[in-house]
Amino acid sequence: MPAINPDILIWARESAGFAVEEAARKLGFKDTKQATGAEKLLAFERGEVPSRALLVKMSKCYRQPLLTFYLAAAPRKGNRGNDYRTLPDGLPLTENALVDLLIRDLKARQSVVRTILVEEDEAEPVGFIGSITRQHGVRQVAELISSTIRFDLGAFRRIQGFEKAFAYLRNKVEAQGAFVLLASNLGTHHTDIDTRIFRGFAASDPIAPFIVINPLDSKAAWSFTLLHELAHLFLGESGVSGNYSEQEVEKFCNDVASEILLPADDFNNVVFNTADSEVLIQELGSFSKRFNISRKLLAYRLYRRGTIDQNCWMELNEHFKQEWQKFRAAQKEQNQEKEIKINPNVVRRHRLGTALLSLVQRMSESGMITPTRAGFVLGVKALKVHNMFDTSAAAA
């Protein structure tokens, strides 16, 4: 077995966002008269040879494959692309580390998808990648995106329910060659990433562009985030977006997404009661359901047209977020009381999207890719891949 490079142990811990003391505690190192737990961990990071059992613990704690610890040198830091976020103060290092780990995993899966398409001679360039610049202007870009994906605003508004409206939009985007995924963690809810830190991600690629949306956001906001990230792909940009940003490119993509879902001609003459916050929230809720758009989008539009100031806009966003979190908690409790069990495979299929599932299923059934490769792309064990293609279970 090759020797362990101590630099790998340091890199893995720091990539997970842990200080030495925190990592030592999570790994079970206890303080003794001879040395503290942190000192014991530092001994390994300075050259003492760890046992395989300890490496297995580190693998789980740091969320790294076991083979990582046998590399000759630490991998280069994953590139999350452009970072468009304005992050909240006091952000724990672990939160941003989770974002890096998630994006690294998604980009690795994207790379495999791209390779599969190239190897099987199905690599058709996605024409809209990098097809516009901000100089085209918000309205022109909004019209171009709508026409490219054949988006029918009237049909979108007639759909009953935010999630079904999102499914309609998602199908339109995937039909043009992009893969749209929902992802919020590294495979367990213990690593869920708050929407303030990670709301969406665009991975631009001429063959296999990926759009990733954090499903912890309200379902009403999914369509907006999808179009926001799609605008980044039209610009030919990769990057991660949060809940708020001061960058001009983010404001541009926000304006494009909101113009598609709520054209200025439909909104500019609408009057809201901004003098009474409770009445305003009720009016935004009514308008939101009628047009299948989020209240956050409406508040953003009011802010952008100068009807409310930035503080009011951010207060409304926080109010809507807290309401959504209370709703999710109540729904979870209600399901537990009724003993409703949700099939995890149904959830996974929904989050992966039709385009990715269809590609992997077709390649798997034709023998073009191995179960191990298919499992990696889908984020499941090789033995569980067939469950992802069980359409009868999905229908049930």
pLDDT at 394 over 70: no
Q: Does 155 share its domain with 13?
A: no
Range list of β-strands (E), the chain: 82-83, 179-182, 200-203, 210-213, 239-241
The answer to whether position 102 is within a domain reads yes
The answer to whether position 27 is within a domain reads yes
Q: Does 115 share its domain with 155?
A: yes
pLDDT at 196 over 90: no
The answer to whether position 25 is within a domain reads yes
Q: Does 61 share its domain with 92?
A: no
Which of 46, 70, 94 marks a domain boundary?
A: 70
Q: DSSP letters along 77-112, please?
A: PP---EE---PPTT--HHHHHHHHHHHHHHHHHHHH
How far is residue 352's CA from residue 388's CA, in Å, rounded to a whole number? 10
pLDDT at 259 over 80: yes
pLDDT at 187 over 90: no
The answer to whether position 237 is within a domain reads yes
What is residue 94's predicted lDDT score, i.e. its pLDDT? 63
Q: What is the mean pLDDT of the chain?
A: 88
Q: Does 102 share its domain with 45?
A: no
Q: Provide the 3-class DSSP secondary structure of residue 211.
A: strand
The answer to whether position 178 is within a domain reads yes
The answer to whether position 97 is within a domain reads yes
What is residue 87's predicted lDDT score, i.e. its pLDDT? 74
CB atoms within 10 A of CB 68: 17
Chain CA centroid to CA 40, Å: 37
Q: Report residue 201: phi and psi, to 5°.
A: -145, 135
pLDDT at 114 over 80: yes
Which of 238, 261, 284 marks a domain boundary?
A: 261
How far is residue 145's CA from residue 190's CA, in Å, rounded to a whole number? 36
| 315 vs 79 pLDDT, higher one | 315
Q: Provide the 3-class DSSP secondary structure of residue 291.
A: helix
pLDDT tens column, 372-390: 999 999 998 888 899 998 6
What is residue 392's predicted lDDT score, i.e. its pLDDT? 42
Q: Does 149 share its domain with 251?
A: yes
Q: Does 65 share its domain with 161?
A: no
What is residue 334's predicted lDDT score, i.e. its pLDDT? 82
Q: Does 136 share its domain with 86?
A: yes
Say how many domains are in the chain.
3
pLDDT tens column, 316-330: 988 998 999 899 888
Q: Does 204 share its domain with 154?
A: yes
- Which residues, in sequence order, are CB contacts of 66 under 8 Å at separation 6+? 55, 56, 59
The answer to whether position 317 is within a domain reads no
At which residue do the structure tokens 């049930």 appear? 396
% of the chain exceeding 90 in pLDDT: 60
Q: Does 35 share its domain with 113?
A: no
How far is residue 384's CA from residue 45's CA, in Å, rounded to a whole number? 36
Q: For residue 276, with 0-12 CB atoms within 10 Å meaning exposed, 13-18 middle and 19 or more buried, which class applies? A: exposed
Residues spanned by the domain of 385: 344-395
pTM for the predicted model, two decimal places: 0.80
- Which residues, in sequence order, are CB contacts of 203 under 8 Å at separation 6+? 81, 106, 107, 110, 209, 210, 211, 212, 238
The answer to whether position 114 is within a domain reads yes
Quick check: 261 and 293 in contact, CB under 8 A?
A: yes
Q: Does 112 share its domain with 235?
A: yes
Q: Does 107 share its domain with 32?
A: no
Which of 219, 243, 261 marks a domain boundary?
A: 261
First to last CA, the chain: 48
Q: Does 42 share its domain with 96?
A: no
For 155-178, what is the mean pLDDT?
A: 97
What is residue 191's predicted lDDT score, i.e. its pLDDT? 80
For 197-213, what is the mean pLDDT?
A: 95
